[in-house]
A = this chain, B = another copy of it.
Amino acid sequence: MSAAKLKIGCAGLGRMGKRHALNFLQRTPRAQLVAVSTPDDTELEWAKVHLAPSGVALYKNYDDMLKHEGLEAIVVASATAVHAEQAIKAIEADKHVLCEKPLSTSVEVSQTVLDAAAKKPQLKVMCGFSRRFDASYRDAYNKMSTGALGTPSVLRSQTCDKLDPSGFFVAYAEFSGGIFVDCSIHDIDLTLWFFGADSKVKTVSAVGITAVEPDLRKHNDRDNAVGLVEFYNGKVAHFYASRMMAAGQEDTTEIIGTKGKVTVNAQPALNLVNVFDGTGIRREIPQHYYDRFEYAFVTEANEFTACCLENTPVPVKLEGAVQAVRIGAALQEAMITGQKIFFDESGKRVEKTRL
C-alpha cells in the first residue's frame, strides 16, 4: 500500500559515502537504500552496525551490488579516482546515477561519463554540485533571475577550508587534481550557473603560494590560490581557494550586477548565538564543508530521487561538470606554469586572443 520508492545503492562508505548512505536511508522519504558496496573492511563493519539492521544489503564488490535485485539507482561516493568508472558501469547497467563531484580530475575521463550517459537518455545522471541545492544559493539565484540586479557581470567566489594541521592535505593533493580542481570547482560551477552554462572562457590567469605547507609543491599544488577567469560575454570571475583558514570553513560568493549585488555567506555564522565577553562580541562559524552544506546534500538526495521517480530533468546538467573540470584544470595549469592561458571562442587554446 506504500508509495513507490526509488531503490538505490551507495558505492563507497568513506566520509562522504557514509553521509550519502544515511541521507538516502533516513532523510529521503521517497528513496529506499537497498545496498551499499565498499572494498574496505572497516567501512563494512560500520555498515553492519548502522545500515544492515535497516535491511540494507552489504557488498564488498561494486559489480556485485550492481546486480542487486530491483536496484534502480546508484550514488557514487567512492574515491574520485573511480568515480567515472563506477558511474559508467552503473549507466551501462541501466541505473540512474548521482555522482559525487568531480566526475574525474581529468577532462577527458569526465567526458567519457557524458558519452556513456548520452547513449541512455532515459537515465538520470547528475554530478553532485551541492551548492546548487543550498537554500541560500538558490535564493541568491532567484533574486538575480528577477532582473533586480541588472546584468550579472562580476563574480567573486571562494572555497576556503579550515587549516588541518595534520598535513593530511599534502597526501591528498597527490590525487585531488590540485586546489583549483578540488576546491574552486564549486566556485566555477556557481559561475556557470549564475553567468549561464554557455559562458565561453577567454583567458585564465592564476597565482598560488605555499604559506603553510611547502611540501605541496612536490604534487604541483599550493595552499592558497587566486585566479581570474575572463569570459567572451564580457563577464569576469575571480576565485580564491585556501587550505589555511583559522576560524573554519569560509565559502563566500558575491554576484555583482549592473544594478545591484547579492552575497552569500559574506558574514559566516555557525548559528544564531553571539557571546559578549571581555574580548568583544564573538560568533563561531562552521568548521567543515559538511557543517555548512549538510541540508544541501539532503535536498540533493531528495531532488535526485524525485527526478528518477517522476522522470523529470535533473536540476544540474551533466555538461557543466565537464566544463567545470576544464576551467579548474586550466587555472591549475596557469598557476603552476605561471603563464596566462588564452582560448578562442570555440574553446581551443590560442597564443593570444583579440582584445
Chain A residues within 8 Å of B, Cβ to Cβ: 1-3, 25-27, 29, 52-55, 135-136, 139-140, 143, 148-149, 151, 153-154, 156, 203, 205-212, 224, 226-228, 230, 234-236, 238, 240, 242, 244-248, 250, 256, 258-285, 336-340, 342, 352-353, 355
A191 to chain B, nearest CB (A): 13
Contact A236 B224 (CB under 8 A): yes
Please list 5 pairs of residues, one from A and one from B, whose beta carbons are closer than 8 Å in the complex, sorted by A's number: A2-B53, A151-B211, A208-B236, A245-B276, A246-B278
Chain B contacts for A276, CB-based, 8 A: 245-247, 250, 260-263
Task: Return the chain B residue nearest A280 by Cβ.
Answer: B284
Contact B228 A209 (CB under 8 A): no
Contact B260 A277 (CB under 8 A): yes
Given A2-B54, A154-B242, 15 more A-B residue pairs with CB atoms under 8 Å apart are A3-B53, A139-B273, A143-B273, A149-B275, A154-B226, A210-B234, A211-B234, A226-B228, A227-B228, A244-B258, A245-B261, A261-B276, A263-B274, A338-B352, A338-B353
A289 to chain B, nearest CB (A): 15
Among B224, B248, B340, the residue within 8 A (CB) of A153 is: B224
Contact B228 A154 (CB under 8 A): no
A167 to chain B, nearest CB (A): 14
Task: Return the chain B residue nearest A53 by Cβ.
Answer: B3
Contact B154 A240 (CB under 8 A): yes
Q: A54-B2, A209-B236, A240-B238 are in contact. Are A246 and B273 (CB under 8 A)?
A: no
Secondary structure of the A contact surface, majority rule: mixed
Chain B contacts for A336, CB-based, 8 A: 355
Chain B contacts for A338, CB-based, 8 A: 203, 340, 342, 352-353, 355
Among B27, B139, B248, B266, the residue within 8 A (CB) of A266 is: B266
Cα(A258)–Cα(B25), bound, Å: 40
Contact B275 A143 (CB under 8 A): yes
Contact B280 A283 (CB under 8 A): yes
Q: A267-B266, A282-B281 are in contact. Are A246 and B259 (CB under 8 A)?
A: yes
Contact B136 A340 (CB under 8 A): no
Cα(A263)–Cα(B263), bound, Å: 16
Cα(A205)–Cα(B338), bound, Å: 10
Chain B contacts for A153, CB-based, 8 A: 209, 211, 224, 244
Contact A156 B260 (CB under 8 A): no
A215 to chain B, nearest CB (A): 15
Contact A53 B1 (CB under 8 A): yes
Q: A207-B228, A247-B281, A267-B267 are in contact. Are A275 and B256 (CB under 8 A)?
A: no
Chain B contacts for A135, CB-based, 8 A: 271
Among B143, B154, B228, B281, the residue within 8 A (CB) of A211 is: B154
Cα(A17)–Cα(B193), bound, Å: 38
Cα(A261)–Cα(B27), bound, Å: 36
